[in-house]
Amino acid sequence: MTQAQKPPGKPVKILFVINHKSGRGNDDSLKDLIAEQAKSQDFDPQIYSMSGNDEARIRAEIKRFSPAIVAAAGGDGTIKMMAEILAGTKTVLAIIPYGSANGMAKELAINDINIALQLLSKGEKKAIDLININNEVCIHLADVGLNARVVKRFEKDPRRGKLTYAKHLFGEMFFLKNYRFQIAYDDKEIRRKGVSITFANASKYGTGAVINPKGVIDDGRFELVIVKPFPRVQLLSIAWKMFRGQLHTSDYVEIIPCTNASVVSNRKTTLQIDGEVIGKVKEINLFVMPKALTVLVPPTP
C-alpha cells in the first residue's frame, strides 16, 4: 500500500459522485465540507449529483475531467456502481459513507464522513478483489435466499437502520424457505440444502453482523457461506454468533473458500448484490477478479 500523494504544486483532481437518495445527511452540508477540505488539502474538486440512469454520464464525466480519485458518497449500491465503472482502471475509489448501512465503508474502517474526507490526502491505496456474479460486479457481499428476501423488503420500507432490518428479518422467519443447491466450485461438486448462500468478498454486513469471519478482501478468493435449514428457536443463537464474529462455529453454517463457482437452485430465488436486488434466478455463476479495484483506506498504524 502507498499513501495517496499529489505531484508537487499540482492539485489532485477528485470527482465527487453524490447520491442524494441514499438517506444520509444533506447535500448542501456535504458540498460545504468538500469545499472546506478542498482548500485545506489543496485538491481540485468536481461534483456530480446523481439523478437516475447515471452510469453513462459518470463515465463521460470521468473521461472529460480525468480525475485521479473518484469519491463516491452513497450507500453500498452506489459503491457497487462505481466499482463497476472503475474496475481494471488506475483511477482510485474513495468511499464516503452516505447511505443507511455503509457495509463496505465499515469493512474498511471508514466510519464517518470526516474520516473519509481526510483520507483523500492521508489515506493509503489498497488493491482489492471483486467478484463477477452473473456479469454483475460485487465489491462487498451478495446472497440468495433468506437475507436477499429481507433486503427486498427493506428496500420498500421508507425507514432505515438496524431496527428496520431486524423487523423484516423476523417477519421473513414466518415464511422461511429451504432450497436445494447444486454447487460446483474449483473442480469440485457438492449438493446442499440451505435457507441462504452468501457470496462473500468481505466479512460483515453494514449492521455489524459478521457473515464471513475469515473473509479477506485481497486474498484472491471469495467464500460461499451456506446457512443450512435450522429450527426457528436457533435464530437468536445464530444471530448472536454473527454479531460476535463466530458464525463459523455454528452447526448450521458451512464456509467454502473458492476462486470460481456455479450454484443452481431447485427453484428461483431472489439475488441481491451489495444491497441491490437483481431479481429472481435459478443459476448463479461467479469468479473472482483479483485486485481489480484500488481504494483509499486508513493508513496502517
The tens place of each residue's pLDDT in the chain, 301 residues long, gives 555 555 556 899 999 999 987 755 556 889 999 999 999 999 999 999 998 889 999 999 999 999 999 999 999 999 999 999 999 999 999 999 998 778 899 999 999 999 999 999 999 999 999 999 999 999 999 999 876 656 555 555 555 455 555 554 555 555 568 999 999 999 999 999 999 999 999 998 877 778 899 899 999 999 999 999 988 788 778 878 888 889 899 999 999 999 999 999 999 998 999 988 899 999 999 999 999 999 999 998 8
Asked if 267 and 285 sit in the same domain, the reply is yes
Nearest CA to 44 among 116, 118, 113, 120? 120
Query: Which pLDDT value is given to residue 163?
Result: 59
Do 74 and 16 contact (CB within 8 A), yes or no? no
Asked if 169 and 280 sit in the same domain, the reply is yes
Asked if 249 and 147 sit in the same domain, the reply is yes
Asked if 194 and 266 sit in the same domain, the reply is yes
CA distance 160 to 265: 30
Domain count of the fold of the chain: 2
Asked if 145 and 265 sit in the same domain, the reply is yes
CATH code: domain of residue 184: 2.60.200.40
* Whole-prediction pTM: 0.88
pLDDT digit string (tens) for 259-269? 999 999 999 99
Place of cell 464516503: 96
Asked if 170 and 260 sit in the same domain, the reply is yes
Asked if 19 and 122 sit in the same domain, the reply is yes
Asked if 164 and 92 sit in the same domain, the reply is no
Do 17 and 85 contact (CB within 8 A), yes or no? no
Asked if 108 and 144 sit in the same domain, the reply is no
Do 75 and 102 contact (CB within 8 A), yes or no? yes
Tell me whether strands 260-273 and 188-194 are parallel, antiparallel or unpaired.
unpaired
Nearest CA to 134 among 265, 294, 295? 265
| Domain extent for 122 | 2-130+293-297
Angle at 45 between CA 43 and CA 50, to 5 degrees: 150
CA distance 73 to 92: 14
Asked if 193 and 280 sit in the same domain, the reply is yes
Asked if 197 and 250 sit in the same domain, the reply is yes
